[in-house]
Chain A
């Protein structure tokens, strides 16, 4: 499965400065692992110590919020777009 992962915001630093990257995998976990193989440290920017998606990051597969659809086990259909969007927040 090949998908496009889009990384607006600060996360692009972790993949060499691009905002869009191709990756392979059948689940989100596999997709993130694939990117991490090429860009070590990527996974730890998105996942916390317990392996969950960090609270400041929102991940969408197509229009589905990964938190509500299985987290890292969310299936990633071939050709789909994964958006990893850091929060826009403050005080």
Chain B
């Protein structure tokens, strides 16, 4: 059975707005919630020195976000980032640098007039798409 990530339209819009605001740079952030249910979006700064083609969430923001999720009884549900001009699919770099097998990876592509948002599991370099509900 295909896995499913519950990501409301409001949260999708929030991620999309972040991606559009940061373009042409890649936008990135976290999604907190429980299990496969997304509850809120945590925007983060892209700290990578080449932010047009790469992303790296500021480690201090990661620390703050984990503490905040703990305090609210939440878990890390997903990590999101945008591909301003490429497809909504994990790139070779995304696969090589995916260190969170228990989190979903959400990708937003601004390549076309209509932005696309998709979710995946990335484990040991393998990618499997997940349904969005």
A residues apposed to B, CB below 8 Å: 6, 8-11, 56, 58, 60, 63, 65, 83, 85-91
Contacts and interface: CB of A to CB of B under 8 A. Distances in A.
B23 interface: no
A25 B110 CA distance: 49
B98 A90 contact: yes
Interface stretch (B7-15, B33-41, B55-63, B111-119): B55-63
B2 to A, nearest CB: 23
Given A63-B63, A85-B62, A85-B66, A90 B93 contact: yes
Q: Which of A56, A63, A90 has the most CB of B within 10 A?
A: A90
B90 interface: yes
B59 A90 contact: no
Contacts of A90: 54-55, 81, 90-91, 93-94, 96-98
A60 B63 contact: yes
A89 B60 CA distance: 14
A26 to B, nearest CB: 23
Contact of B99 (A63, A65, A86, A91): A86
Identify the 4 closest CB pairs spanning chains A and B, nearest first.
Answer: A91-B93, A86-B99, A90-B94, A89-B56
A17 B98 CA distance: 17
A9 B53 contact: no
